[in-house]
Structure 1
Amino acid sequence: MRNLIKQIAKFGVVGVIAAVIDFGILNLLVTVHVNSVLAGAVSFLISLVFNYLASMKYVFKHRDDMARWMEVTIFFISAAIGLGINEIILWGGVALLPPDAIHTMHARYVLYTNIAKIVATLVVAVWNFIIRKWLLDAPAAGTPIQTGSFAHRLGAWSLDRHPFGWK
Structure 2
Amino acid sequence: MGFRALVEQFLKFGVVGAVAFVIDYGILMLLSQVVGWDPLPSSVVSFVVSLLFNYVASMHFVFERRDDLSRRRELVIFVALSVIGLGINSAVIWAGTAALGDGAVAVTVTKLVATVVVAVWNFVSRKRWLEAR
**TM (normalized to structure 1)?**
0.75
Which structure shows the bigger proportion of residues in helix conformation? Answer: 2
Q: Note the alpha carbon deviations across 1:24-73, whole angstroms, 9 max, x for none.
A: 11011111211000110000000000000000000011101222222111
1:13 partner letter: V
Aligned counterparts of 2:68 and 2:106: Cα–Cα separation in 1: 44
Q: Which runs of 5+ in 2 are unaligned?
A: none
Give RMSD over aligned pairs: 1.2
Q: Which residue of 2 aligns with 1:43?
A: 46
Q: Which residue of 2 aligns with 1:29?
A: 31
Aligned counterparts of 1:34 and 1:111: Cα–Cα separation in 2: 16
Q: Note the alpha carbon deviations across 1:70-112, whole angstroms, 9 max, x for none.
A: 2111100000000001011101111136xxx66xxxxxx2211
Using the aligned pairs only, state the percent identity.
49
Q: Which runs of 5+ in 1 are unaligned?
A: 103-108, 140-167
Aligned counterparts of 2:130 and 2:4: Cα–Cα separation in 1: 19
Aligned counterparts of 1:126 and 1:94: Cα–Cα separation in 2: 21
Q: Which residue of 1 aligns with 2:113?
A: 119
Instruction: Give the structure with higher Rg (CA).
Output: 1
> How many equivalent residue pairs?
130
Aligned counterparts of 1:15 and 1:36: Cα–Cα separation in 2: 21
Name segments (4+ residues, structure 1) moved above 3 Å: none
Q: Which residue of 1 aligns with 2:82?
A: 79
Q: Note the alpha carbon deviations across 1:86-140, whole angstroms, 9 max, x for none.
A: 011101111136xxx66xxxxxx2211111100000000000000000111113x
- 2:69 pairs with 1:66: yes
User: What secondary structure, in the 3-state scheme, does the structure 1 residue paired with 2:99 have?
Assistant: coil
Aligned counterparts of 1:96 and 1:68: Cα–Cα separation in 2: 41
